[in-house]
Chains A and B, each alone.
Chain A
Amino acid sequence: MEDSPNKEELRIGVYICHCGSNIAGVIPPAEVAEWASHLPGVVRATDTLYACADSGQSLIKEDIKKYNLNRVVVSACSVRMHETTFRGAVSEAGLNPFLMEMANIREQCTWAHGHDKEGALRKAKELTAAAVAKAHFLAPLEFITVPVTKRAMVVGGGVAGISAALDLADQGIDTILVEKEPTIGGVMAQLNKTFPTMDCSI
């Protein structure tokens, strides 16, 4: 089962992204970084103009070596946007990708609270603290590797489905093209000539 993370001394690095003016236009990232530097376990905290850019990722990778970081917190955008990016960055620097945690201070903070800058700053700090707290209890994990059945299915035999099926098949992939009607073709087969070239549709 999980090892207690307290067996090793935690060395957390915290990166507060400006995202140009997307975050920095509402709150001062440097103030959040300074604040976060006092949280337990944090040994490095700084702001960065674009954490996702090459320069931002390089900073994180260099810091992992320089400060011997074993956890990384990136306060930036949504995990739906860049979790994969930062997992990749820390993993290139030799850290397990699951030892990186993000705080969403853009979509769920500065973009939603432009009307309340003081409230947004307080929230950005606390979201960062929560990510630091979670990072404290993160454990290294390995991706699960699964086999791949080399066979595709396209559902719908209109122009989009036929295009997808033909390209998959040309790549050498066995493809099942499923159509609910008795013929493929979809709406396009019903059309007369098509714009702007006025060629036939079938």
Chain B
Amino acid sequence: MVDAARHPKIDVRTYTNVERVEGYVGNFKVQLREKARLVDVDRCNGCGECAKVCPIEVPNYFEMNLAPRKAAYVAMSQSVPLKYTIDEEACIHCYKCVEACGPLDAIDFSQEDKVVWEDIGSIVVATGFNHFDPSVIPEYGYGRFPNVITAMEMERLNNSAGPTVGNLIRPGDGKNPQRLAIINCVGSRDKRFNPWCSNFCCMYAIKNAVLLKQANPEMEISIYYIDIRTPSKGYEEFYERARGMGIHFIQGRPSLITQDDNTGNLFVHSEDVALGRVIEKEYDMVMLNQAAVPQPDVDTVSSVLNISQSPGGWFMEYHPKLRPVDSPTDGIFLAGACQGQKDIPASVSSGLACASRAGRILHSEEWQIEPIIAQVWEDRCISAQGKQCGLCAKACPYGAITVETGKAAQVTTAKCHGCGGCVAECPHNAITQMHFTDAQILAQIRALLAEKPEEKIFAFRCQWCSYGGADLAGTSHFDYSANERGIRVMCSARMDSDFIYEAFRLGAGAVLYSGCHPQDCHYITGQRVGATRADRLMKAFEKMGMSPGRFRVEWISAAEGDKYSRVINEMQETLNAIGPEKLHEENEMLRPEMEKRARRMYEVPLVTEASDYSDEMRQAMSDMEEPHGS
């Protein structure tokens, strides 16, 4: 901590929130809000005279609210920086602190939040985790029985820097407990709350037991566990040492804790797998070893930083094995437990890995980004012909397009992130996206629907979420119908209505329009552009008399492999229920309208060539079908 504050290359900004992040790898702009401490940090010398005279006491979060702090406070004596803060919500404005500060004159009630923008090349996100609140498990009595405490409360009570100076007492009556039960997996490996193993709690339970036993060898300590997990270096040996010290390990998840109201003692009811029966034991104190859970503000942080979440709310890495600290956004990295439950060695390792990954970028003079950007065909843009339009600029989440009547729309290359929303929104087919042109996408659609189109479920997927969801379905071996055929674009915003009409014109059995959940969009608001269009399409198809379920819109994250496979299987069931004959009839009925609507796409450069090529390919495929007779 102190090393970081003293390092000449580190600028520590405490009491500060990240409010906005704009830009791209090598060129981020970050808006910070430095909250008003009401203390001038350049003048404050950390003497604490202000806190001494402050008449207000509130619970100290740092002490798990077991001890008070003043409204003028530092969270702990080793705070870095050692600068006081006035808690404005608690302060009664008696100004005794101002008087106590005297000639230092460090207290400044006129201070306001400071908002600054910083230019940044690369960002490491290390926002950490939170502790599960065990009061939602009624059978353990946390919050009702004073001598049932959490692991973090134990941490402060058994800490020489804590409120009791390391003298472990029962909150109920201040007595020193002689019999302690530690219960593992509280909120972890419990389908009611969190399915995951929180990783560090087994070792954490053993650590606390060893520390207490060392200080008081007479103390009777039992650890209730489902499994003891000690997979890292030196951990199993540590567990063996604890057993050797006489700490009891009871395999069984307690079902109930009751209290003797006269003594405040607790009865833990549990099975004991070794004995093969249910046991009930009396303790002076019970420690609940809480699960690690994501931070409560994880949704805000993920939308500000534009990072997706894995199931449960951990930040999602680019690849779990090969790129474990990269976020899906180039130049943003994930350190520590915000990416998933980690112990200290793993958190430090991932922090160091992030420094190395970010260093690759920050030591380069320049960085390469994919040229999959939008380009305007100036001769096709109606703005150049003096007509008012600007739909492309409206669809752009980055303000990368400028439209001035009389001139063709202009794309600022450095600002374009390549979602393709403007391309699909342009009613005059005057914009294209490099590497995802209409001709390229049409050629793919045609190839995939060349044979037996009515049997097919055609899926449009976005690069960051639903394509990843389809990958995860495969990686997890969730079987789904092999009639699915998918293509990838960067964002659902690129899924042009023309593509959908074309797929149905060709006779597709069903079409899936899929992308990210709104809050996960890699392109800020790209998904909204896609979703609005999908709604319009849905209404149009209903009106045309298309059977329900043949056009389906689903938002599927890269973590929802199960959902991807379920959706495809449900679409297969829909097709089975309609039956091939009715489907064929319906397609014949819809074809003229689809034909009419899809025709517009053929004005786009190279689309006619793509169409001709597709006919050639279809012929080649059907020639091959004949001799093999499959």
A interface with B by C-beta (< 8 Å): 1-2, 4, 6, 35, 38-40, 78-81, 98, 104, 106-116, 119-120, 122-123, 126-127, 129-134, 136-139, 141-198, 202
Inter-chain contacts of A198 with B (CB < 8 A): 207, 210-211
> Are A113's CB and B155's CB within 8 A?
no
Nearest first, the 6 A-B pairs at minimum CB distance are: A160-B336, A119-B482, A163-B351, A161-B126, A167-B355, A107-B474
B354 within 8 Å of A (CB atoms) = yes
Closest to A197 in B: B234
Count of A-B residue pairs with CB < 8 Å: 407
Instruction: Point out the residue from B85, B336, B368, B451 that lies within 8 Å of A145, measured CB to CB.
Output: B368
A194: chain B residues within 8 A (beta carbon): 207, 344
Contact A146 B9 (CB under 8 A): no
User: With A119-B481, A160-B348 given, can you name 9 additional A-B contacts, CB distance below 8 Å?
Assistant: A40-B616, A130-B443, A133-B444, A141-B371, A147-B26, A162-B351, A175-B11, A177-B4, A182-B74
Given A1-B377, A196-B203, A202-B1, A112 and B479 contact (CB-CB distance below 8 Å): yes
A139 CB contacts on chain B under 8 angstroms: 434, 437
* A40-B616, A148-B26, A160-B335 as given contacts; A173 in contact with B359, CB under 8 Å: yes
Which of A78, A109, A129, A189 makes the CB contact (< 8 A) with B617? A129
Taking CB as reference atom, which chain A residue is nearest B379?
A1
Tell whether B266 is near chain A: CB-to-CB under 8 Å: no
**Is the CB of B576 closer than 8 A to any CB of chain A?**
no
Chain B contact residue count (CB 8 A cutoff) = 151
B482 to chain A, nearest CB (A): 3
Interface residues of B in 163-218 (CB under 8 A from A): 203-204, 206-207, 210-211
Complex interface: chain A residues within 8 A of B15 (CB): 179-182
Q: Are B159 and A106 in contact (CB under 8 A)?
A: no
Shortest beta-carbon distance from B509 to chain A in Å: 14
Q: In the complex, which residues of chain A have a beta carbon less than 8 angstroms from the beta carbon of B50?
A: none
User: Roughly how many angstroms separate A98 CA and B437 CA in the complex, as a whole number?
Assistant: 13
Q: Output the least CB separation between A3 and chain B (Å).
A: 10
How many Å from the CB of A45 to the closest CB on chain B? 13
A57 to B284, CA, bound (A): 67
| Chain B hits for A113, CB < 8 A | 479-480, 482
- Cβ-defined contact, B85 with A171, below 8 A: no
Cβ–Cβ < 8 Å partners of A81 in chain B: 319, 322
Query: How far is A148 from B76 in the complex, measured between Cα atoms in Å?
Result: 39
Contacts of B152 in A (CB 8 A): 190
Query: Contacting B126 at CB < 8 Å: which of A160, A166, A189?
Result: A160
* B338 contacts partner chain A, Cβ-Cβ < 8 Å: yes
Min CB distance A155 to B, Å, is 5
Of the candidates B24, B26, B440, B480, which one forms a contact with A134 in the assembled complex, judged by CB atoms under 8 Å apart?
A: B440
Closest Cβ neighbor of A102 among chain B residues: B488
In the assembled complex, the CB of A141 is this many whole angstroms from the nearest CB of chain B, namely 5
In the assembled complex, 30 residue pairs joining A and B whose CB atoms fall closer than 8 Å, in A order, are A2-B437, A80-B467, A98-B435, A104-B471, A107-B472, A108-B470, A111-B475, A112-B482, A126-B447, A126-B450, A136-B443, A141-B435, A146-B367, A148-B362, A153-B28, A154-B124, A155-B123, A157-B4, A157-B126, A163-B335, A164-B351, A165-B124, A176-B120, A178-B13, A179-B14, A183-B79, A185-B80, A188-B344, A190-B64, A198-B207
Complexed CA–CA distance, A185 and B155 (Å): 15
B238 and A196: CB pair below 8 A?
yes
B587 within 8 Å of A (CB atoms): no
Q: Tell which of B1, B352, B468 touches A80, judged by Cβ atoms closer than 8 Å.
A: B468
> Which of A98, A134, A194 counts the most chain B CB atoms within 10 A?
A134
B10 engages A150 (CB within 8 Å): no
B486 within 8 A of A: yes
The residue among A106, A126, A127, A192 with the most chain B CB atoms within 10 A of its own CB is A192
